Amino acid sequence: MPLILVTNDDGITAGGLKTLVNSARKFGDVLVVAPDSPQSAQGHAITIERPVFVRESDVFGEEVEAYECSGTPVDCVKIAKSVLLNGRMPDLCVSGINHGSNAAINIIYSGTLSAAMEASLEGTPSIGFSFLDYKADADFSVCVPYVEKLISHVLTNGMAEGNLYNVNIPNLPADQIRGIKVCRQAEARWVEEYVRGEDPRGRPYYWLTGKFVNNEASEDADANALQAGYVSLVPSHHDLTNHLALEQLKAIETELQPAKVGNSTDQDREKQQLEQF
């Protein structure tokens, strides 16, 4: 049976995690390692200045091996790999189902996607699932067909190089979702501001808020596909190199070469200076 690692950033008692575990169990053996409390927007943070605690959890019943972790979502994946799996590699890692969108720039901040990315760094095919419903009592049943289709597809066919899918599901009735659309990450971002307040002792504090601005016109961008009623699937990668700029910057290699004095290189000049002594 395939081994599927399941994690999230909303915590081990989150409804989206329960939905994901129930779906994953249909395809293989499941190991759940999830934070013991909500860890949204932790990005790729790891715990290095305090110990990480892990304990077994029975939240999914006796048939599912599950652990809650005091660390971040990425810590959960690292603990699973280094401690709990005893050297065995998962066949798939699934993370989520997250409350709210992780489309566009949100992939950078997301604990859900960072956990999946951590697994992908080790060569494990990974999928991060998000549902565009922020309500605590969100009904994740509309997500199930797409979660199970993609788990089945990846276990059967594997993944192309990169090993990470960012999947977002619109908050629509099942009969209004138009299917899955393979997309690229939208050029959209948060316009942020901090609301100032004061605590009971008169000390100022600042609360982050803002609005999501999408100036992307292309239909194949994930934010627009979601708005059009599609499930967006973005093949993602940990490589942050700007490949388009590589050739443009080649000139710098020539422009920034060490200066020469006459026909001598810097190395020759240093040799001449030493000979004077």
Provide the 8-state DSSP code for 10. S
Residue with tokens 């504090």: 205
Alpha-carbon distance of 55 to 53, in angstroms, equals: 7
Residue closest to 117 by CA, chosen among 235, 37, 243: 235
- Check whether the bond before 151 is cis (ω within 30° of 0): no
Alpha-carbon distance of 126 to 117, in angstroms, equals: 7
Does 75 count as an annotated binding residue?
no
Does 214 count as an annotated binding residue?
no
Does 9 count as an annotated binding residue?
yes
Q: Do the Cβ atoms of 151 and 24 come closer than 8 Å?
A: yes
3-state secondary structure of 32: strand
Alpha-carbon distance of 165 to 181, in angstroms, equals: 12
Does 268 count as an annotated binding residue?
no
Nearest 5°: the CA angle 231, 237, 243 is: 120
Beta bridge partners of 196: 206
Binding site feature residues for a divalent metal cation:
9-10, 40, 98
Binding site feature residues:
9-10, 40, 98
